[in-house]
Amino acid sequence: MATILTMVLVVGISYFKSKKYKKYLELQFQQKEFANKIVLITRMKHRNLVNLKGCCLHENSKTIGI
């Protein structure tokens, strides 16, 4: 009976995060946070609050329509 030996080589990979990539991640986080707030606002029901009709999200501005 023959024994087969296999060699496994594990290579670690490190990612370089540039300033542009960090800004991209920060923007993604801000957009997700804004979207979460919009969802929260749409679920709020109170007689002193107006209903949210929509929102618009662009790179440089965020707009809420009531």
What distance in Å separates the CA atoms of residue 62 and residue 13, rounded to the nearest whole number?
37
pLDDT of 36 reads 87
**Structure tokens given for 51:** 């209903």
**Cβ contact 54:65 at 8 Å:** yes
Residue 13: inside a domain: no
- Residue with more model confidence, 61 or 52: 52
pLDDT of 63 reads 66
Total number of domains in the chain: 1
| Residue 33: domain span | 19-65
Confidence class for position 59, pLDDT limits 50, 70, 90: low
Model confidence pTM above 0.75 = no
DSSP, collapsed to helix, strand or coil, labels residue 29 as: helix
Residue 6: inside a domain: no
pLDDT in tens, 7-55: 555 555 555 667 787 888 888 888 888 888 888 888 888 888 788 777 7
* 13 Cβ neighbours under 8 A, 6+ residues apart: none
**Cβ contact 52:42 at 8 Å:** yes
